[in-house]
Structure 1
């Protein structure tokens, strides 16, 4: 392991203290089948909505949790999902106790054994815990100095901030989540995201869809050179 490939131990310790290794993002997977309009979510996603583990979600239930200011947009997105389109969104939900949570949903098409697209699958990422004022202030003042030699990480953060509409703290949290879940170095995750950016379409929907795919498959290997 070299300094070029990894953040130094002292930097890592400080980054972990600022970001909060003991307070990771809450993340949970979901699936949706187009033909039957059936949703499936993990216990983590159920808890984000204030629902008991094992609860079976429906489109109506999901819409009932959307923040009033986001509901019309999300209803249109969910309808587009039911028509076979990809789904990705940064929005707010209200759990059964009335608490507002900020979530990022990333997904990509789900195919059967023959390669036919039968649904969509991805993750809900609860960004609420990363928005604490003291943590954001610490990151804004400390992280750029720690990572000024890691320009690629800042570039990847910028891409996530632009496409998903999240702040720098939350974008870094998403990169860190993928690094930890896939056991791929943070810098490597960032490099693969940045390497794929020139191939991303300009259209807003295609932009989100392509970045979703990059983020969810970043652990599979080196970027496709073609």
Structure 2
């Protein structure tokens, strides 16, 4: 018998799962509202779990589950696409998923993901669709918050580089804030690069040089002169080359 085989007398040797690892791989942490639904095709009977009512802004029993209730909450821009997906699901009975927006009872747009699968009878006809509805709005908000934080951080880093470069110019040349800004803008313009990128390059060059040193003006002038334009994507260069090629007869 192979050493790794498992019998009734030798229970499988498993490694315990740490809660933190399980939470990581299952993406736990964000609370999502998850509901269930079921539709009997022949009778047109719908069933929703309480969560489906809640995410649409109703209390259980407020409305009769069905097409009319769902249509009243669908975002108008997503209705046509949802109809296409739903029609295909009813025709084939294959597993499906569809993300779309709804407008709850408070007028707030929410994003839900619907999954489902058809059940067939003995003759192969799809007689029931059942699956889950997940309100993924909290996840979207988390993504937007992260992007907003990144944008704010980039803005602060950009502003810091500009202010640092202006401070160096003010100290070395004995000029005020406006004149330092003008000198930095001129250097950026000559290199064909944004001011914040020029400032970052100047500060990187000065850091690499170990500071301004005894020849401050020359060091700073060299850093400004060394500013380079941003690298262009290769595809952009290829497009320019094609445009410059003479027309062939």
- What TM-score range do you get, normalising by the shorter chain? 0.3 to 0.5
Q: Which has the larger radius of gyration?
A: 2
- TM-score normalised to the size of structure 2? 0.44
Q: Which has the higher contact order (CA 8 A, sep 6+)?
A: 1
